[in-house]
Structure 1
Amino acid sequence: MQREILTGSTDSRRVFNWHPFGLRNGQELHLSIPREGCRTYISTSGGFDVATFMGSTSTVERDGVGGIKAGLPLANGDSLKSVDSDSSIPSDNMPRTAMPNYEGLRTLRIIPSFQYHQLDRRLLQRVLQQPYSVSPNSNRMGVRLQASLESEPVNTHSLISEGIVCGAVQLPPDGNPIVMLSDHQTLGGYPKLGVVAFRDLSVAAQLRPGDAVRLRLTNLPLERLKQRAFYRYFNL
C-alpha cells in the first residue's frame, strides 16, 4: 500500500507500509483507497493525547466508549493531539520478507485448541481443505468466512460459554468459521478450532469482503519461535 505526503502545492512524495517517515508542520498525509488490505495504522512515537478507558485509548463503536467522542468514529474536522515525544525518526525499514502478504489467497495458520480434538474428523477435514471467502458481514469484532460449498452443520448444544481471545476461530451452527478480532466479545459458546497464530493476526485484520482465505494447522513451538523473532527485530 502507498500513501502520499503533500509538502506543497506541487511537491509530494509517496510512502509505503511498514516504513517510518517524518511530517513537518503544514504537511498533509493523504490516505487513498488501498489496493490491498483494508486498514491503515498511523502511530507516533509518543502516542496520541486521548483519555483512557480501562487503560486503553481505543474506540469501540459497539459499546460507545473510548476515543475523543465517547465511542464515535473520527470525522472530518476532528483533531488529534500527539503527546510530546522524541522527534527523531527511525531509519530502518521493515524487510519485505517480514511484511505480511495481503494479496492473493491468504493463509491463516491455526494452533489447535483442546476442542479441536473433540470435533468430528470429517468436519475437520472439510474445514481445513475447502477455500473460503470473507463475508460482507465481517467487522472489527470478527471475520466471517463463507464456504464455496454448503457447510456441514455443527452441534453446539453441549458447550458452556467460556472466555475467548483475539484470534480464536469459532464454528457456529452453520459451519462457517468466525475469526475473532480486536473488538471480540469476552465469552463464546461455539466450538473453537483453535487460535490464529500471532504472525497471521495482522493478515486477518486486513481481510476485505470477497478475499480468498484458507485455514491450515500449525503448532505452538514453531509459532513461538516466529513471534520471538518478530519481537527481537523490534527490540520488544
Structure 2
Amino acid sequence: MSVEVLDPGPLSTLQDLGRPGWAHLGVARAGALDRGAAALARRLVGGAVDDAVVETTLGGIVLRTGRAATLAVTGAACEVRVDGHAVGHGTPVTVPAGAVVIIGPARTGVRSYVAFAGGIAAEPVLGSRATDTLAWVGPPRLAAGQVLALGRPGQWPEPPAAVVVRPREPVMRLRPGPRADWLAEGAWAALDGTRYAVAPDSDRIGLRLDGPRVERRAGELPSEGMVIGAVQLPPSGQPVVFLADHPPTGGYPVVALVADDDLDLCAQLRPGDRVVLRTG
C-alpha cells in the first residue's frame, strides 16, 4: 500500500512522537507540534500511538492513494475532498485506489494532520520518523512525486477522545524558568494578563511574540541546554517560546516555561493572532 504526494503545499513533513533522549548529542526531539490533534488522527484510523502522520502547514497537501486506504484529517480546520467530493474533517474516511485526496488550506489554525490506517512506513532515524526542520534530521520534507509506503492496518478505531474547545482568546500559562532572576523587578507580575501578537517569523523552531517589552538585567550568559516550552528573553525584550525543533542550546536567559498542556496551542497560532500570558 502506498500514497503519492502530488502537491506538498508550503511545508509538509512526517511526524511521530519525536526522538527524546538525544539532546545531549545536540539532536532536538522534533515530533508533531499539536500532539493532541496528531493523537486523535491516529486513533480515528485505529493506529498505534507512535504511527507517523503527515503534518501540513497552512496550505494543505494533495495526495493520491495507490490502493484503498482509510485516513483521517484533524488539527487546523480545513476542507477535505476525495475525487472532488467533500468528506468529513475529524472522522475516518475510506477512499478507493487511485483517489485524489485534497487537504485544503487551513481556515483557522496552522497545522493539519493526516493519518492513515497502518501508519506511514518511513525509515526511522535515531528511532523516530519525525522531520526536524532545524537540523533536517529524519525524513526530508515531502516533495511532489514522492511515494509514501503504508504499513498494515491494525484493529478498527476506538471512539475518539472528547474534543477540547479552546477559549476564544488563547491563553498561555507560564511558570518561572531557571533564569527568572534575570527579570527586572516587577516584570514577572507585569506579564500576567499581557497580550502578545504572534510574529511572522514563527515556525516549528520557535513561537516569537511581539508586544510589550519585558525588562531584564543587562549582560549575557554562557549557552545552556534548552527544553521544549522554554521562554527565552533576548535583549529586544520580546519573548521566544521554543517548540519541537528548537536548538539544543541558547545564550539568552530562560525566564519562563510554558505549561505542557498549552504547547499544542502554540502549534495552531497564526502570525498576527493574539495570546494572553498568565503567570498566576
Find the partner of 2:106 among 13, 34, 39. Answer: 34
Looking at structure 1, the residues matched to 255 and 234 of structure 2 have their Cα atoms a distance apart, in angstroms, of 11
- Establish whether residue 53 from structure 1 lines up as the match of residue 125 from structure 2: yes
| Residue of structure 2 equivalent to 1:223 | none
Looking at structure 2, the residues matched to 87 and 187 of structure 1 have their Cα atoms a distance apart, in angstroms, of 42
TM-score (norm 1): 0.76
| Residue of structure 1 equivalent to 2:254 | 192
Count residues in correspondence.
Answer: 203
Which structure features the higher share of strand residues? Answer: 2
Find the partner of 2:161 among 48, 73, 94. Answer: 94
Query: RCO greater where, 1 or 2, for CA within 8 Å and sep 6 or more?
Result: 2
Contact 2:231-2:255 at 8 Å conserved across structures: yes
Per-residue CA deviation, residues 80-123 of structure 1 (Å, 9 max, x unaligned), is 11122315233x23323x34x2x742111113223224522322
- Establish whether residue 107 from structure 1 lines up as the match of residue 181 from structure 2: no
Find the partner of 1:178 among 234, 240, 244. Answer: 240
Looking at structure 1, the residues matched to 265 and 244 of structure 2 have their Cα atoms a distance apart, in angstroms, of 13
- Amino acid aligned to 1:94: A
Summarize the alignment of residues 1-236 of structure 1 with structure 2, pairs less than 5 Å apart. Answer: 1-6=77-82, 8=83, 11-16=85-90, 19=91, 21-26=92-97, 27-67=99-139, 71=140, 73-86=141-154, 88-90=156-158, 92-96=159-163, 98-99=164-165, 101=166, 104-147=168-211, 149=212, 151-155=213-217, 157-217=219-279
Deviation at 1:158, TM superposition (A): 4.7
Distance 1:190 1:45, change over 3 A: farther
| Residue of structure 1 equivalent to 2:29 | none
Looking at structure 2, the residues matched to 160 and 58 of structure 1 have their Cα atoms a distance apart, in angstroms, of 30
Looking at structure 2, the residues matched to 56 and 14 of structure 1 have their Cα atoms a distance apart, in angstroms, of 29
| Residue of structure 1 equivalent to 2:64 | none
- Amino acid aligned to 1:145: L
Deviation at 1:24, TM superposition (A): 3.0
Distance 1:202 1:144, change over 3 A: same
Contact 1:166-1:184 at 8 Å conserved across structures: yes
TM-score (norm 2): 0.65
Distance 1:114 1:60, change over 3 A: closer
- Amino acid aligned to 1:204: C
* Unaligned runs of at least 5 residues, structure 2: 1-76
* Unaligned runs of at least 5 residues, structure 1: 219-236
Which structure features the higher share of helix residues? Answer: 1
Distance 1:127 1:86, change over 3 A: same
- Amino acid aligned to 1:93: P
Higher mean C-alpha deviation, range 56-65 or range 32-41: 56-65
- Amino acid aligned to 1:88: W
Partner of 2:95, secondary structure, is: coil
- Amino acid aligned to 2:89: V
Contact 2:188-2:279 at 8 Å conserved across structures: no
Partner of 2:149, secondary structure, is: coil
